[in-house]
Structure formats: structure tokens, C-alpha cells
Chain A
Amino acid sequence: MVNKNLVKDVVKEPYKYGFITDIETEKIEKGLNEDIIKLISQKKEEPKFLLDFRLKAFKRWQKMKEPDWAALGYKKIDYQDIIYYSAPKQKEKISSLDEVDPKLLETFDKLGIPLTEQKKLTNVAVDAVFDSVSIATTFREELAEHGVIFCSISEAVKNHADLIEKYLGTVVPASDNYFAALNSAVFSDGSFVYIPKGVACPMDLSSYFRINSGDSGQFERTLIIAEESSSVSYLEGCTAPMFDTNTLHAAVVELIALDDASIKYSTVQNWYAGDEEGIGGIFNFVTKRGKCLGKRSKISWSQVETGSAITWKYPSCLLLGEESVGEFYSVALTNNLQQADTGTKMIHIGPKTKSTIVSKGISAGNSKNSYRGLVKMGTKAKGSRNYSQCDSMLIGDQASANTFPYIKSQQSNSEIEHEASTCRISEDQLFYLQSRGIEFEEAVSMMVSGFCRDVFNQLPMEFAAEADKLLALKLEGSVG
């Protein structure tokens, strides 16, 4: 067929972020044991409570079993074959950006995240994480004027130990699941955000996670606390070089919203996905959860998942406070041999709580894309409501899509509504658009972004445009 040839002729744009930064790194030995954990903790000059937290988590992890319930198939991970700490060699203490290795600054420049004073993005504060450590955080002083703390979690451990001790592990306990336990034992860096009472964060906050090293895992930890009547919008981006081996990424993100506070957490995940034969790519096992502790608190997750060889991720909300609100908006796109098992959990505990789930899965190539979600109404969740909508789009005839909605209700005075649909981009639709002068690739991307519109509308402006482009790029050559 004519179209097939056209698609093959299209020069495929390679993964744009697949370069490696050649930089001297400090790595510890491969493997995982108590000594390694002590070494990580020592390198980070951590207080005792944190070392104890790590060791306890490690003990739990040793007794746990890797979960196998997800609709994913992959080679067994050898946890002793991973380096758990890798950091670019730098001066002991860095007091300003001028002392950061120019190669690192250049790396983030290339990723579109300039960090230096002259070039930094003007509307968003960035925490840049490279392998196991945070390199720089912009706009710290400006944010400090509003009482907002935005720094790496390592710094927060040093400077705000009380907050860390009070909140770390309260949303995702170390015992929560296998990967959360692993992260709790070995987490290296990540971002910390604290928004004081009554403050609307004056700008978007963003963390950019970059994996550079091929043999070390990334285990970042993010903690965001929004005090009473405060609000923040947080963005997260991730990329990695192209290696023919798989790299493990097991992150934990904890969000806490008190009375009338709101946290909006947006992710564009573009980890390296492996090549067309499924060689290489990131194994992405992430536990993200938010606690709506207060009355009328609100946590909203929006995610665009396009990367990783394996995605295992269920950003969730615990709705404790009366009238608290949880939202989950997701676009997950898989192509070639990618596999994604992603969704959310909305746990309604308090009365009159509300949750909305909108999930759009797009599978192309030979990929596998599953939505897995739980909506639970507890005994006290009187007058609570959930609305879920899960749509799948198939591109080509080799891709697969699944939906696994779990519903548990212990409260008869609550409402759960679930809608699901599956569609396929048909040759007729493509021909129709083409016969109106619209190029084949553009026709596909028009239909895909139309399909995702409900979710894109939830993303911050600059993210939405980026997400649109990213999807188009990822789909290039996927239809024929």
C-alpha cells in the first residue's frame, strides 16, 4: 500500500535526549546491603533518624516479593547488579552556580532547561537532578521571600530536618510496596517543597530528572507539603540517554495538602523507551501518592507518559479531609515494544469527597497499554462521588489495550460512575483527512491530540504544547 511506503520513507526523528554527558563521576560499588546503605547515608551526612528509616526499609524490602500482578513482562531485575549511588565529581561545597561543572550546565541547556542566571526560565523555578544528586535550584531567594522552600531533599534533610522527620514516609510508608521499600532504603536525591500557610506559590516549581549513568539506578524522592490555604503547581520532566541495557528508576513522591490547600502535580515522562526491537530503555517503577489531610484540600495529578520500556505507576489520592478533591488526568502512549500498566487509586475516606479520573491510553506498534485503577468508598465516605472515564486508542493491529477498573464501596450513600471506550484510528479516517490535503503524519497526530484533549486541557500551558509535540514525535512511523 502507498501509505506504508510513505511511512517508511519518513526519516524517523531519533530520541532527542539520548546523548550521554562525559563527566567524571563518583560511583560506589555495585550491589545492595546494609553497608551500602550506611555509605549512602554517610555520603549525604544524614542525621540518625534517616539512617534508621533507611535500614528499617531495607529490612522490610528483603522480606518482600517483587509484585507480579501487573500486565507486564520483563526480564528479572538483578538488584545486586545495580549501582545505588552515582554523582558527578564536584567541589565539596558549592556556593554558587559558577562553581557547577560547565558540562552539567551544558547538559541541562541541551535539555532545554537552562540554569544560569542569564538564561534561566523566567516563569518557573527549576530543581535539576543529575543521576543521584541535585545540581542546582533556581529562584531560591525569590521564593524564600514568600516563605516557600524549594530545594533538593538532601538539603532539606540538613536544613529542615524537623519537616522531613515529621512527614517523610507518612503518605507512602516504606512497607507500602516492594519498590517503595527499595526507594526508602536507597533514595539519593529529589525535590522538597514547602508552601507556608496562606501562600499561593508565586511561580510554577519544576524538577527535571536526568539519568546519565547506564549502570546505576535512579531513586529519587520528592516531598511536597502545602500548609493551610496554600497552593502550588509543580511540574516534573524526565529524560535519559540511550543505552542498550535497562536502567531501573524507582521513585517515591509524597504530597500532603492541609485545609483548603491545593497541589497540582504535572508530569511529562519521556525516559528513553528502548529501540524498535525493545532493547534498552528505563524500567520505571514509581509510587506517587497524595494525602488530602485537610478539609476542602485538593490534589490533582496530570501525567503524560510517553517514555520508559516499562511503566508501573499509579499516582493516587487519599481523601481524608471532608469535601477534599482528588483528580487524575493521564495520557499514556506506548509504541514499539513498550509496556505500560498505569492508573490511579482514589481512596475516599472522609465524607463528601470527590474524585475525577480521566485516562487516555494510546497503543501503537506492538506495545501493551493497561489502565489499572481502584476507586474505594470507605464507611465514612458519606455523600462522596467518583467519576471515571477510561478511553483507549489503538493504532495499527498489533497493539493491545486493557482496562482494569476495581471498585470497592462500603458506603451506600456514595456514587461511582465509570465509563470506558476503545477506538482504533481507521484507514478511512486517515484517508478522509488526507483527501483534505492534510499530511499523513499530521492526520495521525491531529486525531491523537483530539483524543487526548480532555487531559491536555489540564496541563500547564507550556507543558500542553510540549506534550502535543512529544506525542507526534513518538508516533512518527507508527502507522502503516
Chain B
Amino acid sequence: MQSKMKESDPILEVENLFASTDNLPILKGVSLTVYPGEIHAIMGRNGCGKSTLSKIIAGHPSYNITNGDIKFLGENINSLEPEERSQSGIFLGFQYPIEIPGVSNLEFLRVSTNARRKFLNKEELDTFDFEELVKEKLEIVKMDHAFLSRSVNQGFSGGEKKRNEILQMALLEPKIAILDETDSGLDIDALRIVASGIKKISNAQTGIILITHYQRLLDEIKPNYVHVMSDGKIIKTGESDLALELEKKGYEWTDNFIKET
């Protein structure tokens, strides 16, 4: 129903996507198109396939695409490695960022940033130049420099982990960012920091998919579209007021749409 009169080409096109893990079907025909400058929200009960969709777009090896296509900037990326997807500008903000003991956050961020820069034919940054860049980006998420010398996400609080994700997004400057429950586990202040960070990083050329359960993130970042997922499918798409209605009526209300479809 979206994208009737778009001027530019879509960033991401998910076309009738079916996927499974261990022969268990999780996605059962998802279609979604994101154009530059758009913010999409995906909502739905736990287990409806929201997180799976985000992982599959990022290339998680545990899931098999059994049917359908994912296109990024017009190219089919079904068989691309996760690192190739990241380098070309797809970013997944993890619901539960992973701890990597022994690997310094600074070095991790630098290697990651350089992988993206290399793809963009930009000069790779040495430690000193990278320090400069990261200092600037730390401002966006109001993180302390001390975070950089710790191991990746190790011993970080929930909020710190999420801010570290947004810091990575700021460094990688993706074309599309899929943020999987970035708002969960955040207090009001942290939520505002994260939300304003996301807004600063995104622009008219980028697309954002917010996976969330809560209206409060959508109060901060107003989506152009809201999709409701259930049992591996998008069962309803609307504008930002759909989220408000959903908050009022609960997911039970959306069960009716399943019957309709």
C-alpha cells in the first residue's frame, strides 16, 4: 500500500520471504519495501518473527531462506555473507548485543569502521585518526571515552550496550539500519539519548526499521509506516497512528486481521 509515487529507488525490498531454522518455518511470506528517508516500525507479539526477519536481512547463518528475495539497492543479497552486507551498508542493532571478552571495544570499532570505509573506497583510518573520529561520535550517544578501552560489551549495563550499538551505527553510517528492540531495557533518559542519536545519524538518504513493543520510542522517532507482524507475516500496515491504536487495543485486536487474511 505504500510507495505509490516514490521519486527514488528503494533501499530495501523484501519480497514474499519464507525462511526457516532447523526445518521449522518462521517467516511465511513477508514483503516490505523501504525507500530513502523512511522510518518503518514493526510491532507484534514475541515469537511472531520480528527478530528473525532482522537477523535474516543481516545474514545470520542459522536461518535458511526457502522462498522469496531480499534486495538491497536493487541487488539480490540472499547469498551474501553477513560481513559483505555490513560493508555495503546494512546495519543490525542487536536486541541483545553480544559480549566479546578480550577484544577491545576500540579495536573492534576501528576494524569494523575500516571494513566499511574500504568498501566505500575511503581511506582506512589508523589508531590516531580513528580516535579523532570516534571522539566525535561518542558525543552523539553521550558515552564516556572509557568505554573504548573495555572489552566489547563485556560488563556493560543494558543501556550501555544499546548505546554502544548506536555508536557503531554512527561510525558505520549505514544505508539502512534495522534496530531490534533497541528501546527495551532503557530508562527514560537513556531512551532519549538513543532516540536522538538515531535521529542525528539518519537522513533523507537512509532508511530505518524500528522493531519495538512500545509506543514510547515511536513518540521520540515518528515512523512513516507501522507494520504488525503475526505468525511470520505482516498482517497489517498503517501510518503512525496504527501504533497508538495498537497500544490502546492490544495485540488481541490484531488477531481479527489474521482471520480476515
Contact = CB atoms under 8 A, between A and B. Distances in A.
A297 B252 CA distance: 75
A440 B83 contact: yes
B148 to A, nearest CB: 15
Interface in A380-433: 423, 426-429, 431-433
Contact of B59 (A427, A435, A449, A452): A435
Interface string A332-356: 0000000000000000000000000
Contacts of B107: 446
Contacts of A450: 100-104, 151
Given A423-B101, A437-B116, A1 B111 contact: no
A1 B108 CA distance: 25
B163 to A, nearest CB: 16
A451 B101 contact: yes
Most buried by A among B58, B79, B86, B168: B86
Contacts of B98: 426, 428-429, 431-432
A447 interface: yes
Contact of A437 (B99, B104, B112, B151): B112
Contacts of A427: 61-62
A2 B59 contact: yes
Interface in A443-458: 446-447, 449-453
A159 interface: no
A73 B83 CA distance: 40
Interface of chain A, main secondary structure: helix
B88 to A, nearest CB: 9
Interface string B142-158: 00000000010000000
A427 B60 CA distance: 9
B206 interface: no
A245 interface: no
B115 A447 contact: no
B202 interface: no
A233 interface: no
Nearest to B96: A428
B97 interface: yes
B87 interface: yes
A437 B86 contact: yes
Most buried by A among B59, B79, B101: B101
B102 A453 contact: yes
A3 B58 CA distance: 14
Contact of A451 (B99, B102, B108): B102
Given A1-B61, A427-B62, A447-B103, A432 B112 contact: no
Contacts of A451: 101-102
B102 A2 contact: no
Contacts of B104: 450
Given A435-B92, A437-B112, A437-B116, A2 B81 contact: yes
A431 B108 contact: no
Contacts of B97: 432
Nearest to B109: A436
B90 to A, nearest CB: 8
Nearest to A426: B98
Most buried by A among B61, B82, B94, B104: B82
Contacts of B108: 433, 436, 438, 446
B39 interface: no
Given A437-B172, A439-B83, A440-B83, A2 B61 contact: yes
A444 to B, nearest CB: 11
A23 interface: no
Contacts of A432: 94, 97-98, 100
A442 interface: yes
Contacts of A3: 61
Interface in A1-21: 1-3, 6
A442 to B, nearest CB: 7
A435 B58 contact: yes
Interface in B107-131: 107-108, 111-112, 115-116, 119
A424 to B, nearest CB: 12
Interface in A214-271: none
A171 to B, nearest CB: 35
A195 to B, nearest CB: 35
A437 to B, nearest CB: 3
Contact of B81 (A6, A428, A429, A446): A6
A436 B86 contact: yes
Contact of B115 (A2, A423, A438, A453): A438
A434 B81 contact: yes
B118 to A, nearest CB: 9
A286 to B, nearest CB: 28
Contacts of B102: 447, 449-453
A476 to B, nearest CB: 16
A432 B61 CA distance: 11
Nearest to B101: A450
A79 B111 CA distance: 51
A438 B112 contact: yes
B170 to A, nearest CB: 13
Most buried by B among A437, A439, A446, A453: A437
A431 B61 contact: yes
Contacts of A452: 102
B225 to A, nearest CB: 24
Given A429-B100, A446-B108, A435 B86 contact: yes
B172 A433 contact: no
A283 B58 CA distance: 45
Interface of B: 58-62, 79, 81-83, 85-87, 92, 94, 97-104, 107-108, 111-112, 115-116, 119, 151, 168, 172
Given A3-B61, A434-B82, 6 more contacts: A2-B59, A426-B98, A428-B98, A435-B86, A440-B81, A452-B102
25 contacts: A2-B79, A6-B81, A428-B98, A429-B99, A431-B60, A433-B112, A434-B83, A435-B60, A435-B85, A435-B86, A435-B94, A436-B83, A436-B112, A436-B115, A437-B83, A437-B86, A437-B87, A437-B115, A437-B116, A438-B111, A446-B100, A446-B103, A446-B111, A450-B104, A450-B151
